[in-house]
Amino acid sequence: MRYCVLADLQLAIPPQTLIWLSNDDESATVIHTAVVEEAVRQAEELVDAYLRGRYNLPLVPVPSVIKDITVHLARHWLYARRPEGNELPDAVIRTWKSGMQMLEAMRDGKLTIGVPSGEAAPESGEMKVRSRPRRFDINLLDRYR
């Protein structure tokens, strides 16, 4: 399941800006959906990388906080791909940093997304062993010759 779709990005980025960010052709008048899909894919992969091992993936249904973080990461990727080398807008940088901090907090268990976690990781250094009682004691085996 997708964490965000084109419609979510259209709510976060003005239409003309999204056309400009997704196209390398300055005269383009429509959104280049393949570029937007790549931005969303990369954002989703990054989110999954942080949540893998803590939650069962993919998340169904998608929590709104995950959708919002994915939108911010995809938006950052779209701005960063521009070859002009201009500075990214402060709002884009701030929301990207905030999203990354939230993902780190989720990974570390300091922030929850409201869905059950995956299986708990075993603690290191502890091992439990179970065996049946002995049938033959040590004395019986010593007497055998």
pLDDT digits (tens, 9 = 90+) for 12-63: 999 999 999 999 888 899 999 999 999 999 999 999 999 998 888 888 889 9
Between residues 130 and 9, the one the model is more confident about: 9
In a domain, 126, yes or no: no
Q: Which residues contact 9 (CB under 8 A, 6 or more apart)?
A: 18, 36, 39, 40, 71, 74, 75, 78
For 12, the domain range is 6-115
The mean predicted confidence, pLDDT, of the chain is: 86
End-to-end CA distance of the chain: 69
Least confident of 47-56, 84-93, 116-125, 136-145: 116-125
In a domain, 125, yes or no: no
Predicted local confidence at residue 116, as pLDDT:
66
Q: pLDDT-based confidence at 139, cuts 50/70/90?
A: confident
Residue 109 lies in a domain: yes
Which DSSP symbol is given to 133? P
The reported pLDDT for the residue numbered 135 is 76
Percent of the chain at pLDDT above 90?
59
CB distance 56 to 118 below 8 Å: yes
CA–CA dist 49, 43 (Å, integer): 10
- pLDDT of 95 over the 60 cut: yes
Domain membership flag for residue 134:
no
* CA-closest candidate to residue 109, choices 60, 53, 71: 53
What CA–CA distance (Å, rounded) separates 131 from 57? 36
Per DSSP, what are the bridge partners of residue 58?
Answer: none
The answer to whether position 66 is within a domain reads yes
Instruction: Give Cβ neighbours of residue 41 (< 8 Å, ≥ 6 apart).
Output: none
Sign of CA dihedral 4, 69, 84, 15: positive
CA 83 to chain centre: 26
Domain count of the chain? 1
Q: What is the pLDDT of residue 120?
A: 43
- Asked whether residue 95 is domain-assigned, the answer is yes
**pLDDT for the residue 121:** 42
